[in-house]
């Protein structure tokens, strides 16, 4: 019985297959209980995101195979399609994988922080389903501590590694306070949706979306708590925004030189930051020649992204070193726990053997007609002497050697309340 990490992710499986294996949050409690019942596992957690579905468990080999069969049946995917894209990590490798995943080291975007929150949700869902045992609880708590250390002691999440992140990072350098900066998003696609979320995380209060399709604009506005304007009012919207991020599917510029010139007159030449992350470009290149207008394109941001990625890759090396140390510590603590359990088991077995031997003697004496009270007194005397013999001999030996620290430790193990000489020295 050992730790297991099993699943699929963006490196091993296609989007189409990952979609079939993804689980909604409201399904997980029932799924966990069903999987535990079908496999006989008592400790099981599921991490399910758009890029991965993983199982963390305490299992034997047979149960790991059963879990894979269960996944095949639940998702209606033939084993022949599922097996080639699944990975499986055990013991130390499982611990290391869990830490790397939670720290964003195994993510599509290196160092992304969202996966940490998703790992915490997996922990909470397993706890709610009753499938979070002592071993998994200790694993997750160790993983969370490792991620906090990685985030604190390395720069894994500080450098921009996506165009959207780079755009927001640029805005932070330009404006004193993003919370007071009105932002206009031209386009409501995936890229601008990411930019919008980053902007909200950085405290932007005024966010407006303009898109050719009203339905998609309304959907994005609802997701990020923004307002919308119709496409026909794009030129007017430029007058009030201090920062504009444009990303549409247009084959020709949607923001022309004339539009920006007219807007700057109404703005009384208040500076305007324009970030064009569309390909082909959304903003006419000549706009960069206008006074008080600052235009950055996707090429400008790409150099920032490349530098950020190099910084994160360097930070990932440091992060993995921290994780290796955490894995070693976890395994050491696990061995200590296992050794302690073995000692406790041995102690109970020896105590039970002693009890059974003395009980058998007492029963035999009573059947032989000896007085029951005398038999019980002898039983008590023999059990007491036999049980205390080894501790007594060892305590006297420690005392003879003058080993006060070991005497104090023995006192703690035996649950003695009397003070030892070492205790008296320290008081």
* Catalytic center residues: 50
Length of the chain: 427
| H or E element in which residue 53 lies | strand 52-59
| CA dist., res. 407 & res. 409, Å (int) | 5
Q: Where are the alpha helices (DSSP H) in 267-401?
A: 298-367, 372-401
Q: Is residue 155 reached through a cis peptide bond, with omega within 30 degrees of 0 on the bond before it?
A: no
DSSP-assigned states of every residue in 207-225: EEEE-SSHHHHHHHHHHHT
Phi, psi for residue 186 in degrees, rounded to 5: -100, 110
Count of H-run helices and E-run strands, the chain: 16, 10
In this structure, are residues 376 and 361 in contact, taking their beta carbons and an 8 Å threshold? Answer: no
Contact 308, 162 (CB under 8 A): no
In contact, 178 and 172? CB cutoff 8 Å? yes
**Rounded to whole angstroms, how far apart are CA atoms 40 and 63?**
7
Cα angle vertex 311, ends 279, 295, to 5°?
A: 35
Q: Would you tell me how many other CB atoms lie within 10 Å of the CB of residue 157?
A: 18
Across the beta sheet with 44-48, what order do the strands follow? 44-48, 52-59, 2-9, 87-90
């Amino acid at each position: 019985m050992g730790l297991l990490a099993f699943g699929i992710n963006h490196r091993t499986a296609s989007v189409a297959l990952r979609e079939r294996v993804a689980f909604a949050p409201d399904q997980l409690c029932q799924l966990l209980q069903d999987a535990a019942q079908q496999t006989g596992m008592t400790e099981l957690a599921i991490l399910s995101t758009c890029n991965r579905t993983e199982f963390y468990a305490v299992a034997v080999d047979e149960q790991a195979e059963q879990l894979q069969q269960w996944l095949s049946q639940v998702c209606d995917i033939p084993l022949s399609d599922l097996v080639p894209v699944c990975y499986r990590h055990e013991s130390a490798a499982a611990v290391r994988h869990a830490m790397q995943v939670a720290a964003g080291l195994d993510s599509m975007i290196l160092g992304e922080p969202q996966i940490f929150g998703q790992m915490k949700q997996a922990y909470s869902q397993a706890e709610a389903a009753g499938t979070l045992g002592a071993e998994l609880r200790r694993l997750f708590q160790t993983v969370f501590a490792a991620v906090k250390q990685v985030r604190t002691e390395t720069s894994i999440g500080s450098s921009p590694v996506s165009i959207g992140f780079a755009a927001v990072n640029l805005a932070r350098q330009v404006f004193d306070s993003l919370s007071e900066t009105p932002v206009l998003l031209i386009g409501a696609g995936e890229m601008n949706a990411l930019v919008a979320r980053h902007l909200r995380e950085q405290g932007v209060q005024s966010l407006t979306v303009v898109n050719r399709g009203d339905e998609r604009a309304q959907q994005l506005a609802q997701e990020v708590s923004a307002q919308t304007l119709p496409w026909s009012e794009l030129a007017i919207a430029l007058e009030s925004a201090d920062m504009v991020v444009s990303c549409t599917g247009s084959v020709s510029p949607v923001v022309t030189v004339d539009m920006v010139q007219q807007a700057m007159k109404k703005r009384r030449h208040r500076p305007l930051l324009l970030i064009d992350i569309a390909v082909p470009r959304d903003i006419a290149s000549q706009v960069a020649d206008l006074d008080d207008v600052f235009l950055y394109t996707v090429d400008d941001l790409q150099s920032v992204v490349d530098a950020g990625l190099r910084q994160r890759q360097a930070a990932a090396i440091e992060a993995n070193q921290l994780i290796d140390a955490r894995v070693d510590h976890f395994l050491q603590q696990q061995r200590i726990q296992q050794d302690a359990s073995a000692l406790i088991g041995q102690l109970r077995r020896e105590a039970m053997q002693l009890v059974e031997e003395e009980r058998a003697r007492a029963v035999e004496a009573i059947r032989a007609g000896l007085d029951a009270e005398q038999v019980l007194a002898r039983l008590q005397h023999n059990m007491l002497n036999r049980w205390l013999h080894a501790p007594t001999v060892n305590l006297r030996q420690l005392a003879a050697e003058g080993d006060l620290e070991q005497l104090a430790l023995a006192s703690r193990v035996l649950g003695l309340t009397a003070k030892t000489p070492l205790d008296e020295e320290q008081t």
